[in-house]
Amino acid sequence: MRHENQMSQLSICIAEKLATLPSTPYKPYLFRINDALRRENSEAYEPEIVAIGPYHRGKVKLQMMEEHKLLYLQELLKRRNELSVDMYVIAMQELEQKARKCYAEPIKMNRDEFVEMMLLDGSFIIELFRKFSCEEQEQIDDPIFQASVIWLNIRRDLLLFENQLPFFVLSKLFDMSKDSNQGGPQENILVLALKFLLQAIPDISYFKTPETPEINDNHLLSLVHGIWCSRFATMVPSRIDANQERGWSFIKCTTGLRESGIKFVKATDSFSLFDIKFTNGIVKIPRLKIVDRTECLFRNMVAYEQYKGKTKPAYVTDYVIFIDRLINSPMDVKILDECGVIDNWLGNDKAVSFMVNKMSNQVGLNPNMFSYAEVFNDINEHCGRTCHTWMANLNHNYFNNPWSSISVIGAFVLLVLTGIQTICSILQI
């Protein structure tokens, strides 16, 4: 009987917990980086100067910017001739529960702390975007813009996977704090956000910020990801569909491919960094500029794609895996640098090789949606033809410098003359 009572109490307890669950669970989209990815390079996921959202809030090294958040909120009120934050606090209170559900784990902050975080972080971001878009005195006098390293680090931090606020919080504060005399792009938070953030991506020269982007995104990182991948996404589905049944296999590294007759050139007609093509033995790759922040950007974009789900395309992940297959050693980096495919601002081929080889570690790949399956198949098919390998070896061993070429030509001429002499001798007999 006692055992039955215990089971009954346990059943009641579990039933009560089940009753508290919503009938249609809300799917969170703000996660923490998993331990496997973090171990590869923890610093790439850590903010350097500003904490946004709850995951990094309270860290000692980020406290200096907390005071600046208050200053930005004060400037917002002054700009609008407002004396109280009551209106904004009430708005954030109304969004609190919705915002909490966006995070994948319970946030151990009481209501006042969470609302204050949303207000300070959100107002900081939107005022930062406004200041960056103007050339007025308010930007010149701001310490953030007096040293480029500060706002460059802030831009980096705003594109971290764990350092995000729900976008609807930013939109609400932006709409509430508009100036009546503002017009044009100043009224669109998407335009201002992209104007500040898109400068962080390597191929910004390939396109310009849309004047009126129509994108409904979850947070700033997903916004930039969507814009970055949008043009490449228009043509990739046909490639993917054509190769799902055919299958594909990985390619050799740059050195190995060159020995098989493959050439690498910088693409001059590409519309996206991801637009890699292979035709007639030539791989055309858009130029990739590698700087100290490149790894951080790619790692956080890849992390975002890892949490999107296996049914969604992962264009940045596919690109990182492609580049990882090409680069297996510093020699591969050197070859791609000489071909104009890589613009190495790190100045060290070994450092670039090490960085690229680690970026795809612990990263999942959906083989049925790999963007470069067709390119890999075509390259492998080309390398499988023996004549291409023979010609590549001939060029590499005998025509790689003028003296070798002269020697080969001389030997060929001598062979021809010897043959002619032999034929003449036979005819005289």
Whether 9 is covered by a domain: the verdict is no
Assess whether 157 and 194 both reside in one domain.
yes
CA atoms of 244 and 167, how far apart (whole Å): 35
Domain end call among 210, 232, 254: 232
Q: How far apart are CA 65 and CA 156, in angstroms?
A: 15
| Domain-located, residue 47 | yes
Q: Are residues 175 and 302 in the same domain?
A: no
User: Crossing angle, helix 315-326 and helix 220-233, to 10 degrees?
Assistant: 70
Give the residues across from 263 on adjacent strands.
282
Summarize the confidence of residues 318-343 as an average pLDDT. 96
- Within 10 A of 405 (CB to CB), how many other CB atoms are there? 13
Stretch 185-195: mean pLDDT, rounded? Answer: 82
Residues 277 and 208 in one domain: no
Q: What count of other Cβ atoms lies within 10 Å of the Cβ of residue 289?
A: 14
Q: DSSP code of 157? A: H
* Residue 82 maps to a domain: yes
Cα–Cα distance measured from residue 196 to residue 153, given in angstroms and rounded to the nearest whole number: 12
Strand-pair category, 342-344 with 288-290: parallel
DSSP secondary structure string for all residues of 80-134: TT----HHHHHHHHHHHHHHHTTBSS-----HHHHHHHHHHHHHHHHHHHHHHH-
Spatial contact of 372 and 378, defined as CB atoms under 8 Å apart: no
256 and 377 Cβ atoms separated by less than 8 Å: no
198 and 264: one domain?
no
Instruction: Show which of 205, 232, 259 is a domain's final residue.
Output: 232
Q: Is the pLDDT of residue 373 over 70?
A: yes
Query: So what's the pLDDT on residue 72?
Result: 95
Least confident of 54-63, 132-141, 157-166: 132-141
Q: 413 versus 26: which is more confidently predicted?
A: 26
Q: How far apart are CA 429 and CA 426, in angstroms?
A: 5
Q: Does the CA dihedral 315-320-321-322 come out positive or negative?
A: positive
Provide the pLDDT for residue 148: 85
Residue 312 has a pLDDT of: 83
pLDDT value of residue 217:
77
Over range 227-235, report the average pLDDT. 86
Angle at alpha carbon of residue 38, lines to 37 and 44, rounded to 5°: 105
User: Tokens 């938070």 identify what position?
Assistant: 189
* Residue-level pLDDT at 368: 87
Number of domains in the chain: 3
Average pLDDT, integer, range 254-282: 93
Query: Is the confidence at residue 169, as pLDDT, over 90?
Result: yes
Q: Are residues 33 and 163 in the same domain?
A: yes
Q: Which range, 18-32, 197-211, 292-306, 379-393, is most confident?
A: 292-306
Query: What is the chain's mean pLDDT, rounded?
Result: 85
- How far apart CA 340 and CA 287 sit, in angstroms, is 7
Kindly state the tokens that stand for 376: 């890999």
Last residue of a domain, one of 232, 263, 294: 232
Span 201-208, mean pLDDT? 68
Look at residue 139 in the predicted model and tell me its pLDDT.
66
Rounded average pLDDT over 19-33: 76
Summarised one tens digit per residue, pLDDT across range 141-158 is 788 888 888 999 999 999
Beta strand pairing call for 277-279 and 282-285:
antiparallel
Q: Count Cβ atoms below 10 Å from residue 202 Cβ, excluding itself.
A: 19
pLDDT band at 136 (very low <50, low <70, confident <90, very high): low
Domain assignment of residue 99, yes or no: yes
Which candidate, 305, 268, 261, places its Cα nearest to that of 282?
A: 261
Per-residue confidence (pLDDT) for residue 184, from 0 to 100: 46
Is the domain of 277 the same as that of 405? no
What is the sign of the dihedral through the CA atoms of 63, 64, 67 and 69?
negative
Q: The domain containing residue 418 runs over which residues? A: 399-428
225 shares its domain with 311: no
Tell me if 267 is assigned to some domain: yes
The closest of 246, 274, 252 to 373, measured between CA atoms, is 246
The confidence score (pLDDT) of residue 202 equals: 86
Confidence tier at 42 by pLDDT (50, 70, 90)? very high
In a domain, 18, yes or no: no
User: 3-state DSSP call for residue 283?
Assistant: strand
Judge whether 337 lies within some domain.
yes
DSSP H helices in 212-348: 220-233, 236-243, 254-259, 294-306, 315-326, 330-338
pLDDT tens for residues 47-62? 999 999 999 999 999 9
- Which tokens hold the place of 63? 């406290």
244 and 357 within one domain:
yes
Q: 64-86, pLDDT tens digit by residue? A: 999 999 999 999 999 999 999 99
- 104 and 152 in a single domain? The answer is yes
More confident residue, 44 or 178: 44
Q: How far is CA 102 from CA 107, 140, 159, 172, in A?
A: 10, 36, 17, 16
Same domain for 83 and 184, yes or no, is: yes
Of 14-18, 220-224, 269-273, 344-348, the range with the lowest mean pLDDT is 14-18
- Note whether 253 and 356 are same-domain residues: yes
Specify the pTM: 0.84
The answer as to whether 214 is a domain residue is yes
Place of tokens 């999942």: 364
- Tokens representing 421 are 């002499």
Residues 198 and 329 grouped into a single domain: no
The answer for residues whose C-beta is within 8 angstroms of residue 136's C-beta and 6 or more apart is: none
The predicted model gives 391-405 an average pLDDT of 49
Greater confidence, 35 or 271? Answer: 35
135-141: average pLDDT: 65
